Chains A and B, each alone.
Chain A
Amino acid sequence: MTVLGPVKILAWLLLATAGLRAAETVSVTMTVSPVVVVQLSTASIAFPEITASDFDAGFVEIEAAVSVTLSSNTGWALSVKTAAADLGTVNGYAKPLIDLEWRRSGGTYVPIGSVDVIAESSTQGITNHTVVFDIRMRLHWSRDLPGTYGLYLDLTLAELAP
């Protein structure tokens, strides 16, 4: 009995391993970092030659002046500002920043400023989303001297912390 005991146990173990299963666990990992991509439709915007009727109207406008196409896999904010102090100086006259206004198409014009103003934002990722901007230049018979004015617009796409 003492001899057959271990044999029987071994045989039983063998039967128990019939249809044996063995397994390995493999971990699949991927680190996804924040990714934002922005593309502009144009790098420069030129107003047409200003006419008397433009001065009479008080402004000249370009609709769909620039389009921003963006993709982001996280929350994002598209903002507008300028680092310039004014629209340029001609013969000592500095055309003020508030004379240049912008809006998202269909929105309300606001003057350009030196602080980021969010044009559009989302807490979700997005693909190939296009934001269209209109711009408008205020004109004044009384103070706008003949000359060339301009500035750099900063369009910034930033990720929003989740």
Chain B
Amino acid sequence: MNHVSQRGRRSGATGLPTLLVLCFLWLPWSLLAVDPAFTVDTLNVTFDTPTALTLDAGASEIGAATNDYALLITVDGGDTGKGWSLHIKAANSLFLPGVMAKGCEDVRWKQDGDGANAYRLLTTTESLVEARPGGGPAIIRLDLRMLVDWSDPPAAYSLDMTISMTVDD
């Protein structure tokens, strides 16, 4: 009696995994495919402390030279062939400390390799960095410029910048 009962339990235990395996096989493979995703090489971009020369020039730049950059974004295109687009925006309209009233538009960005006049304002509205309707991987290097001059009082300024990816349906 005891022996039969043990056999019965074993039978039930192997039945459930079998069902799960069958379900797994029944699922469309697209459900398991990997969508595009991205990573950034750093979560903190720090500009040099400005000198008198910097304040006279009115800006500080990271990535002035080609192949030099402030932020490296690596897009893994996944295996779904889905298109994607990458956007950038400021999380806040003002740098911290807010009492200094330094606006997020003082940060300018461009893709490395573009000309100096390609710099665009960082605003709280998303701006398109790159779009790949056909999907696929990409390496995107961003240069950053911070406007800073004699009117900027001494302070430790910080601003969060959001890089976001939208994957097409």
Contacts and interface: CB of A to CB of B under 8 A. Distances in A.
Contacts of B94: none
A75 to B, nearest CB: 9
Interface residues of B, number: 51
Interface in B123-169: 144, 146, 148-169
A35 B52 contact: yes
Contacts of A24: 38-40, 43, 162-164
Interface string A18-36: 1111111111111111110
A78 B49 CA distance: 25
B161 A27 contact: yes
Contacts, number: 138
A13 to B, nearest CB: 9
A33 B155 CA distance: 7
B151 A28 contact: no
A25 B43 contact: yes
Nearest to B30: A14
A112 B40 CA distance: 61
Nearest to A30: B47
B13 to A, nearest CB: 15
Contact of A25 (B48, B146, B157, B162): B162
A32 B162 contact: no
Contacts of B168: 19
Q: How many A residues touch the partner, as a band?
A: 20 to 34
Interface string A35-60: 10100000000000000000000000
Interface of A: 3, 6-7, 10-11, 14, 17-35, 37, 71-74, 125-127, 162
27 contacts: A3-B19, A7-B27, A17-B35, A21-B165, A22-B37, A23-B163, A23-B164, A25-B161, A26-B40, A26-B42, A26-B161, A28-B160, A28-B161, A29-B44, A29-B45, A29-B158, A30-B48, A30-B49, A32-B154, A33-B49, A35-B150, A71-B56, A71-B150, A73-B55, A126-B150, A127-B151, A162-B153
